[in-house]
Structure 1
Amino acid sequence: MEKMKAGILYGSGDVRVEEVPVPRIKPDEALVKIKAVGVCGSDVHYYEHGKIGRYVVEEPMILGHEAGGEIMAVGEDVAGLKVGQRVAIEPGVTCGKCKFCKEGRYNLCPDVVFLATPPVDGAFCEYLAMRGDFLHPIPDHMSYEAASLVEPFSVGLHACKRAGVKPGDTVAVLGLGPVGQLAVVAARAFGATKIIAVDLAPIRLQMAGEMGATTVINAGEQDVYEAIMKETGGVGVDVALETAGSTATNLMAVRVARRGGKVALVGLPPQPEVPFNVFDIADGELDIFGIFRYANTYPRAVELLASGIAPVEKLVTHRFALEQAKEALDLARTDKQGSIKVMVNL
């Protein structure tokens, strides 16, 4: 295998499927044949704008970081993996040596090499070289699409862990894109008994119910604050998970958290500054947690999704071949009301 197909981003709105060399693995890497790649909001953002904050696409780059596949070759220093093994790919390879890695918070590693983050190529390709310790085996009955969903599910698990969701809690999830949907599943896994899911799109509200939400609120038809207060007897929620990445939902997350409650900010709003009411935060003694990717989640995430905790494959509303990478990105960009997870299958 000398050549492979890859979906390469050349500029805003310009993705081309071309042949590139198959990567050569290092002694600590394995070569994975990619089977499924989810289209993430970050992929769409790079495709549409060419940058996310300080990360700017300056050279042609392969998109995609939510992936599952099959091991085709193993480097001589890789332990515990073998050819033919099915794996979920954790996309951020960290140094393992810095303060953050040694503390177990390797998602904060300043030297992380993260797939499809400029200038690193991603997984919209037939083969990927990845360090062995970031490949996580999946059972035979688990689909490659479910393996790709381990990545956004890990965000939800990390948010619930950081915010201390515990059995019996009431949790609000504000925003029901793929991460929000899987945050509903994560809240269930942590034992929340009441999960209030909020969005504007009927398809996403319906899906949240299938993922385990006990109450859904259409933000276009109801006053979200009043509806949540009514649902919680005027108290508010124990934990608010903001997963939409809008100014309105950032502010709402703080409003609906009970006194002494917790807020996890997962989504990123278009502008970096949001005018929070500091008096409400201080007077209510709220804990506010920033969420950046995840750490130490993949084995548990694989176990939970493989257990059938929720029918997560229903989140995949559209499927495309690699040759249709541009069409997949266009649909994810333009049909946010009618799609949830767009998947590229190889």
Structure 2
Amino acid sequence: MTSAATAKNLSFVLEGIHKVKFEDRPIPTLQNPHDVLINVRYTGICGSDVHYWEHGSIGPFVVKEPMVLGHESAGIITQIGSAVTTLKVGDRVAMEPGIPCRRCTPCKSGSYNLCIDMAFAATPPYDGTLAKYYTLPEDFCYKLPDTLSLQEGALMEPLSVAVHIVRQASVTPGQSVVVFGAGPVGLLCCAVATAFGASSVIAVDIQQNRLDFAKGYATTSTFMPEKVSAIENAERMKRENNLGAGADVAIDASGAEPSVHTGIHVLRNGGTYVQGGMGRSEIQFPIMAACSKELTLKGSFRYGSGDYKLAVELVAGGKVDVKKLITGSVKFEEAEQAFKEVKAGKGIKTLIEGIEE
């Protein structure tokens, strides 16, 4: 392996299932006058990164050529293009890792996260951010206030996912919100819902250690389902949490079919359900309950206009604490071991330290 000290742009590359290597690649050049070059300093490990490492694909996205992993990153600007006006060398930024075409109908209608030709970091065939250097357009870099660390900056990506989900749910002050899945995104959904004024936020999970953490993090209560029907779990949740006829909002951040069913059944008539977690491509669905309750059902995918900006503002303003989610950090050269530990379910959010200039 090339040492970090002598490498120009050491990168953590996935070659195939459970097959990774460190490779020294050329330093990327600015392709557009609006682009900037970033020295990546911290990168979080996401479930999708682990899934590519474990299976070599996610749905239609298949790793056919070696691909740099990583997309939850923050870093320091080291070079700017001639047309860049809002950033300067030395600025610390959170990095939004998906670049839309800006020309297709979804982009032009304001939903660039649904871009037909999205180039998203660490989604085949595009390389990710686990490298010493990475380039982005200036408007996909978000300057961090002095009060925010680069470690916190790396968590703006999963927080932006949560912001988008909670926005999709249109959470308003005084509402009751049930969040299924107390992993990083689910916990951040709880935090964002609380920041948006929800009066009751219930975290649901089947792992006691996750619920124990959630109890002290942006929730009013927690719930562990029993091995009974979704209707029975939903009724017990309503009783134990004084939800009356049901919750206003249910968010699934797990992708698990039983959670989907329970989420539909725990909602009041006219409630809102948002699917944020990705599970199997097809599941059974309680369509009668969804129809007879006249529920609003929405999907949620990545993040869109304003989500990253709001994520930074929520943390800077003390409305959301992401530091509590950081289990620890490892050196860049220990990236593979970190992936193994995340796969084993250790901790909440592990960060990989970048290579300083």
Instruction: Give the distance between the partners of 1:40 and 1:294, measured in 2 at CA.
Output: 15
The equivalent residue for 1:36 is: 42
Instruction: Give the distance between the partners of 2:278 and 2:176, measured in 1 at CA.
Output: 23
> Runs ≥4 in structure 1, deviation > 6 angstroms?
none
The equivalent residue for 1:23 is: 28
- Find the partner of 1:265 among 237, 259, 275: 275
Q: Is 2:151 the partner of 1:145?
A: yes
3-state SS in 1 of match to 2:9: strand
Matches within 5 A, 1:24-103: 24-26=29-31, 27-103=33-109
Instruction: Give the distance between the partners of 1:165 and 1:152, measured in 2 at CA.
Output: 18
Instruction: Give the distance between the partners of 1:145 and 1:253, measured in 2 at CA.
Output: 33
Percent identity of paired positions between Structure 1 and Structure 2: 39
Q: Is 2:331 the partner of 1:329?
A: no
The equivalent residue for 1:179 is: 185
Comparing 195-204 with 222-231, greater Cα deviation is found at 222-231
Q: Is the 1:2–1:22 Cα contact (8 Å) retained in structure 2?
A: no
Matches within 5 A, 1:311-330: 311-330=321-340
Instruction: Give the distance between the partners of 1:181 and 1:102, measured in 2 at CA.
Output: 32
TM-superposed CA distance for 1:221, in Å, is 8.8
| 1:227 alignment partner AA | R
Instruction: Give the distance between the partners of 1:325 and 1:59, measured in 2 at CA.
Output: 20
Q: Is the 1:217–1:227 Cα contact (8 Å) retained in structure 2?
A: no
Deviations 1:119-174 (A, max 9, x none): 10111111111111100111112011211111111111111111111010000000
Instruction: Give the distance between the partners of 1:224 and 1:304, measured in 2 at CA.
Output: 33
| 1:263 alignment partner AA | Y
Comparing 233-242 with 199-208, greater Cα deviation is found at 199-208
Comparing 95-104 with 223-232, greater Cα deviation is found at 223-232
| 1:243 alignment partner AA | A
Structure 2: where are the runs of 5+ without partners? 1-5
| 1:21 alignment partner AA | P
The equivalent residue for 2:265 is: 255
Matches within 5 A, 1:197-212: 197-212=203-218
Deviations 1:244-297 (A, max 9, x none): 11111111111111111010000011x211211211111100111011111021
The equivalent residue for 2:3 is: none
Deviations 1:226-251 (A, max 9, x none): 33211134411100000011111111
- Find the partner of 1:6 among 11, 30, 34: 11
Q: Cα RMSD over matched residues?
A: 1.6
Comparing 5-14 with 203-212, greater Cα deviation is found at 203-212
Deviations 1:296-317 (A, max 9, x none): 2111110111222233111111
Comparing 245-254 with 163-172, greater Cα deviation is found at 245-254
- Find the partner of 1:295 among 280, 297, 304: 304
